[in-house]
Amino acid sequence: MHTDFRYWLPFLTEDVPAALTTPESVARFELKQALPRIAPDMSVTLCRDDSMGEGFRVCRQGNTITITGGEVGLLYGAYRVMMALYAGEKLPADHAQQPKYALRMIDNWDNADGDIERGYSGRSLMFEGGRFDYDPIRLRGLARLMASVGLNVLCINNVNVRNPAHRLIEDWLPQLAEVAAIFRPFGVRLMVSIDYAQPMRHGIDTADPLNERVQAWWNEQCRVVYAAIPDLAGFLVKADSEHRPGPFTYGRNHAEGANMLARALKPFGGNLVWRCFVYNCQQDWRDQVTDRPMAAYQHYVYLDGQFEDNVILQVKNGPFDFQVREPVSPTLLAMPETNLAIEWQLAQEYTGHQIDIYAMMGMWQEVMADLGADKVMAMAAVSNLGRDECIFGHPFAAVNFFGYGLLSWDPDNAAAGDVARLWAKLTYRLDAKDEDTLVGILLESRGAYEKYTAPLGVCWMVVPHEHYGPSPDGYEYQAWGTYHRASRDAVGIDRTAKGTGYAEQYPAELRDRYSSLETCPDELLLWFQRQRYDYVMRDGRTLIQRIYDDHFEGYEWVEAAEKKLTALPLPEADKAIVMERMTRQKKNAREWRDVINSFFYRFSGAEDEKGRPLYL
Ligand code: GCV
C-alpha cells in the first residue's frame, strides 16, 4: 500500500537516505535507482549551471540525456525526466523550463494537538498531543512528492494558530530546524503560521503594529528564528478573520499590520504572506445590503501599492470560500502594484471531503483563464494530506496534489486532461481502455459533484460547520453572510449594479459578462442573478426543471461511475478504499438529490416534467 509514499513515483523503490543533504545528491540517487527500471538503455548526465536557478534544460541525443540546471533545477529536471520516461512520453530533443512562480506553497492546517482543520485523511503528519510527532522517513517521502512536481514551500501549521502552536517560533525552534533539514535536500523551505497577537503572550499589553515595543519584539523574534532556520520562507498570517486578532483592533489598516511584520522579516530575506480572507462573520441575515463576497476587495484594493515588497497578499480563488463553483476573486484583478498569491483548497472542505471524487483541474483552468497567469506571483494550496494509510484519504485525491504542483509550476502547461492522463499513467499503468475510463471519471467528477450538490452557482446549501451533506437552509439564517434567499417564486442574489453591486468590482469585460443574462454562464447564474423558477434558460428549460434535472443527472453519474470503477483493475488496496468511498459518495449524492429537489418542490410547487420522485 501507499505507506511507502510512492503514489505517482512507483519506479522509486528505495527511500532517499537521510545522509543526502543536497538536491543534487538526491537527484543522482533517484536517477540511479530508477533508470535501470524505466529506461535501462538510457544514460542521464547532470550538469550544474547555477544561473538557471530553479529552472532546468533537458537535451536528448540518442540514448543520452543531459539535464542542466541550478542545484534544485537538477532535481526538478530529474523527476520530470523520470516521470516522462516511465509514462512513455517522448522527450523533446531540447527543451527548457522555468517555474512561472517563485513560491509554490502547500499550506497545512495542522494543529499542534494532531487534529487537522478541514483534514479528511487522518491526523497530522507533523504533530500529535501538543508537540511535534513525525516519522522522518514519511516526511522525506512527502518532501520527495513535493519536489517531484516542483512545490517549494510548506507552511507546517494551521492559520488559526491555537495554543501551543505559537511556540513554533519560540522554544520549539530546535525541532522546527530539524524538520526544515528534512525538507531542505528536496528544495522545500518551511513557512510558519503565526499569531498576530503573539507579543501579548510576553507581557506587552498590545499588538498594535505601530507600537514600538511590538515592533521591537517582532524584530528580535525574527532574529532568533532566522538564527535557527536561515532559509525559512517566512510567516503566514490570518488576521482580523473569523475572530483572529489583527490590526483592526487598534484602528490600523492591513498595510500597517502587514508591513510591521514584513519589516521584521526583511533583513533575513523572509516573506510575509498575509491572507485576505477578511469579512464580517457576524452579519445579521436580515441585512440585504452587506454582501460577503465584496469584503476582500473593500478591505484591500484601496491599499494597493502600500505594501512592503516582501509582503504577498494571499487571496482565495473565489470571493466566498472554496465553494464548488465561484467566479475569480475580483481582488486578484485589482491590485497591480501588490504581490499577490492565489489560494486554492486541495482539502475538499466543500467538495466532498475526499470521500466523493472531485478532480479540481478544470476549476483551476477556468479561474486562471479569467485571471491571467501574470496577475499573481505565487500560488498556495490548502493541503489534503494526513496520516491515513493513503495520505490523500482517497487515492484519486492524489491527482489534485499532483496537478496543483504542475499548475503552480506553469499554469499554461497544466491542462486538465493532460494532468489527469499523466497522473493515471504514472500511478496505475492501466491498459488504454481502462486508462480512458479512469481519466473520464476524473474529468467529469467536478461537474457531477456540482450537479448533485449546488448547481448554477447557488452555493451554501451544505450542512453548517461540517460541510458535508445537504442542508438547504442550514446557513440561511446564520451570521456568516452566506445566503441564497430561496422563496416560493425565486432564488439567488442579484449581484449586478441593480443589486448588491458586486459585479462592479470587476474590470469591464467580466463585469459585463456576469451582469448580462445573455452572457452570464449558466454555472454562475444564481451567483449573479436572482431568478424566478419559471425563468426560461438558454436551452429552453425552466430554471426549476434545470435544478431538478441537474440533481437527478448528478446522481445518475455517480451510479454509472460506481459500475465503471467496479470493473476497473486497480491495485487491491486502492480498489478497496475507492469502492468503500464510492458507496458513501452514492449515499451522499442520493441525499443531496432528494433533499435539494424536495426543498425547491415544496417552495415552488412545480412538478418534475419527467415525473421523477419529489417529496412533500
Ligand atoms: C482555517 C473556512 C473554513 C475554516 C478556515 C477558513 C480560512 O471558513 O471553514 O475552517 O479556517 O476558511 O480559510 O481561514
Residue 417 and residue 445 in one domain:
no
With residue 364 as reference, give the H or E element that holds it. helix 361-371
Q: What is the residue whose three cell numbers read 475538499?
A: 348
pLDDT value, residue 5: 82
pLDDT value, residue 572: 95
What is the residue with the minimal CA distance to atom 11 of ligand 1? 160
160 lines ligand 1 (CB under 6 A): yes
CA–centroid distance, 514 to ligand 1, in Å, is 27
240 lines ligand 1 (CB under 6 A): no
Asked if the structure places residue 366 within a domain, the reply is: yes
CA–centroid distance, 109 to ligand 1, in Å, is 9
Among 427, 446, 469, the domain boundary falls at: 427
Determine the atom of ligand 1 nearest the C-alpha atom of 316.
13
Q: Which residues of 575-592 are buried (b: 16+ CB within 10 A; e: fewer)?
A: eebbeebbeebbebbeeb
- How far is 349 from 321, CA to CA, in rounded Å? 10
Ligand 1 binding pocket mutation candidate from 273, 277, 280 (most atoms within 8 A of CB): 277
Residue 89's CATH number: 3.30.379.10
Determine the atom of ligand 1 nearest the C-alpha atom of 159.
1
Determine the atom of ligand 1 nearest the C-alpha atom of 465.
9
30 lines ligand 1 (CB under 6 A): no
pLDDT value, residue 597: 98
Residue 601 and residue 478 in one domain:
yes
321 lines ligand 1 (CB under 6 A): yes
User: Average pLDDT for residues 323-339, to the nearest whole number?
Assistant: 98
320 lines ligand 1 (CB under 6 A): no
CA–centroid distance, 297 to ligand 1, in Å, is 18
Asked if the structure places residue 504 within a domain, the reply is: no
Ligand 1 binding pocket mutation candidate from 117, 193, 242 (most atoms within 8 A of CB): 242
The alpha carbon of residue 256 and the mean position of all alpha carbons in its chain are separated, in whole angstroms, by 28
pLDDT of 3 higher than 80? no
What is the residue with the minimal CA distance to atom 8 of ligand 1? 321
Burial class (CB in 10 A: 0-12, 13-18, 19+), 177: middle
Residue 423 and residue 434 in one domain:
no
Residue 59 and residue 140 in one domain:
no
Residue 269 and residue 399 in one domain:
yes
Number of H helices, E strands in the chain: 15, 16
- Annotated active-site residue 349? The verdict is yes
What is the residue with the minimal CA distance to atom 13 of ligand 1? 277
Residue 24's closest CA among 63, 69, 90? 69
Residue 115, C-beta contacts closer than 8 angstroms, at least 6 positions apart? 123, 124
Banded model confidence at residue 2, pLDDT cuts 50, 70, 90? very low
110 lines ligand 1 (CB under 6 A): no
Q: What would the pLDDT profile of 52-92 be if each residue is shown by its tens digit?
A: 999 999 999 999 999 999 999 999 999 999 999 999 998 88
pLDDT value, residue 1: 41
Q: Is the alpha carbon torsion for 259, 264, 265, 267 positive or negative?
A: positive
Residue 585's CATH number: 3.90.1330.10
Q: What would the pLDDT profile of 217-235 be if each residue is shown by its tens digit?
A: 999 999 999 999 999 999 9
Backbone angles phi, psi at 603, to 5 degrees: -70, -50
CA–centroid distance, 310 to ligand 1, in Å, is 24
pLDDT value, residue 361: 98
pLDDT value, residue 92: 87
Asked if the structure places residue 217 within a domain, the reply is: yes
Asked if the structure places residue 502 within a domain, the reply is: no
Determine the atom of ligand 1 nearest the C-alpha atom of 117.
10
Asked if the structure places residue 511 within a domain, the reply is: no
User: Average pLDDT for residues 482-506, to the nearest whole number?
Assistant: 98
pLDDT of 413 higher than 90? yes
Residue 125 and residue 91 in one domain:
no
Ligand 1 binding pocket mutation candidate from 281, 321, 346 (most atoms within 8 A of CB): 321
462 lines ligand 1 (CB under 6 A): no
Among 388, 403, 427, the domain boundary falls at: 427
What is the residue with the minimal CA distance to atom 2 of ligand 1? 321
118 lines ligand 1 (CB under 6 A): yes
109 lines ligand 1 (CB under 6 A): yes
- Cβ atoms of 336 and 304 within 8 Å: the answer is yes
Asked if the structure places residue 33 within a domain, the reply is: yes
- How far is 69 from 52, CA to CA, in rounded Å? 5
Q: Which amino acid is at 113?
A: D
CA–centroid distance, 321 to ligand 1, in Å, is 8
Asked if the structure places residue 547 within a domain, the reply is: yes
Determine the atom of ligand 1 nearest the C-alpha atom of 345.
13
550 lines ligand 1 (CB under 6 A): no
- Annotated active-site residue 366? The verdict is no
Q: Which of 321, 326, 356, 594 is catalytic?
A: 321
| Domain housing 128 | 103-427
pLDDT value, residue 422: 98
Structurally, the chain folds into a number of domains equal to: 3
User: Average pLDDT for residues 464-491, to the nearest whole number?
Assistant: 97
Residue 191's CATH number: 3.20.20.80
- Annotated active-site residue 321? The verdict is yes
pLDDT value, residue 488: 97
Residue 85's closest CA among 15, 11, 184? 11
Q: Which of 14, 242, 436, 473 is catalytic?
A: 242
**Within 390-507, where are the H helices?**
398-409, 416-428, 432-452
| Mean model confidence pLDDT for the chain | 97
Residue 191 and residue 89 in one domain:
no
- Cβ atoms of 492 and 529 within 8 Å: the answer is yes
CA–centroid distance, 16 to ligand 1, in Å, is 35
Percent of the chain exceeding pLDDT 70 equals 99
pLDDT value, residue 90: 87
Alpha-carbon distances of 384 from 4, 323, 345, 396, rounded to whole Å: 17, 16, 8, 12
Residue 128 and residue 91 in one domain:
no
CA–centroid distance, 434 to ligand 1, in Å, is 37
Determine the atom of ligand 1 nearest the C-alpha atom of 160.
1
Ligand 1 binding pocket mutation candidate from 110, 118, 351, 382 (most atoms within 8 A of CB): 118
Residue 195 and residue 282 in one domain:
yes
Among 97, 114, 139, the domain boundary falls at: 97
- Cβ atoms of 207 and 196 within 8 Å: the answer is yes
Residue 69 and residue 8 in one domain:
yes
CA–centroid distance, 369 to ligand 1, in Å, is 26
Asked if the structure places residue 38 within a domain, the reply is: yes
User: Average pLDDT for residues 240-269, to the nearest whole number?
Assistant: 97
